[in-house]
């Protein structure tokens, strides 16, 4: 982070903490979905509550970083890019909390018919988001590594798409589920879990632009 900040230790520490919170949110997301599919609903609800608290804490931290950036960032032309990155990264935390909330509200039973695929979908979607965090850290620490991490974000997002499609096809065409409402519910929750990877890929598109600007 020394490239962008000189002696702005508070900013450096806060951004590190913010990225740590994103990783925590992804891990809580993974754990929560695993608890749900293993029918440990009390533990799942604990993870949902933990996710909600972390989302609120991260919002406060992001606002604090924004104020500090305007005061301490010594390269003003980079301020907008840093703020833009933090704002879009916030979408990752929002998605993890929102998906767990939807499981908590609806408590879908039909998804248990596709347990292994849903767990794989969760793992790969989370991998894409984790690589985004690595790419974001590299943006501040070693910008030459950003592209490698972004490549991995795209790879895992593509693998997530494959499993999402497999779940949808099985729901509508395998004969496992006859009621259309249940088929639609399976499709919906597959799309919601995949949204984490989709969001990660969306953020990398902006990160790629910021990276190019820094390197030219």
> pLDDT tens digit string along 160-177?
999 999 999 999 998 888
For the entire predicted model, the pTM comes to: 0.92
Contact 47, 32 (CB under 8 A): yes
pLDDT tens digits, 113-136 = 999 999 999 999 999 999 999 999
Say which CATH superfamily domain 9-215 falls into. Phosphate transport system protein phou homolog 2; domain 2 (1.20.58.220)
Q: How many CB atoms lie within 10 A of CB 208?
A: 14
Residue 180: name the closest of 189, 170, 172, 192 by CA.
Answer: 172
Q: Pick out the chain residues at pLDDT < 50.
A: 7
Confidence at residue 110, expressed as pLDDT on a 0 to 100 scale: 96
CA angle 8, 89, 65 (to 5 degrees): 30
Q: What is the pLDDT of residue 77?
A: 61
Domain ranges for the chain, please list them. 9-215
pLDDT at 13: 83
């Amino acid at each position: 982070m020394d490239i962008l900040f000189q002696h702005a230790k508070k900013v450096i520490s806060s951004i590190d903490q913010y990225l740590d919170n994103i990783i925590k949110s992804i891990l809580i997301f993974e754990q929560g979905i695993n608890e749900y599919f293993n029918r440990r609903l009390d533990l799942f609800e604990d993870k949902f509550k933990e996710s909600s608290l972390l989302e609120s804490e991260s919002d406060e931290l992001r606002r604090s970083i924004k104020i500090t950036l305007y005061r301490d960032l010594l390269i003003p032309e980079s301020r907008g890019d840093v703020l833009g990155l933090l704002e879009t990264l916030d979408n990752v935390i929002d998605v993890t909390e929102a998906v767990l909330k939807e499981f908590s509200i609806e408590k879908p039973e039909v998804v248990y018919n596709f347990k292994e695929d849903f767990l794989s979908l969760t793992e790969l979607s989370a991998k894409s988001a984790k690589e985004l965090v690595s790419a974001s850290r590299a943006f501040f620490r070693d910008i030459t590594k950003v592209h490698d991490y972004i490549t991995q974000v795209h790879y895992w997002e593509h693998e997530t798409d494959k499993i999402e499609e497999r779940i949808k096809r099985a729901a509508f065409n395998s004969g496992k589920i006859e009621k259309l409402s249940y088929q639609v519910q399976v499709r919906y929750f597959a799309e919601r879990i995949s949204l984490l990877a989709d969001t990660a890929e969306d953020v990398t598109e902006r990160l790629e632009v910021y990276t190019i600007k820094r390197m030219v």
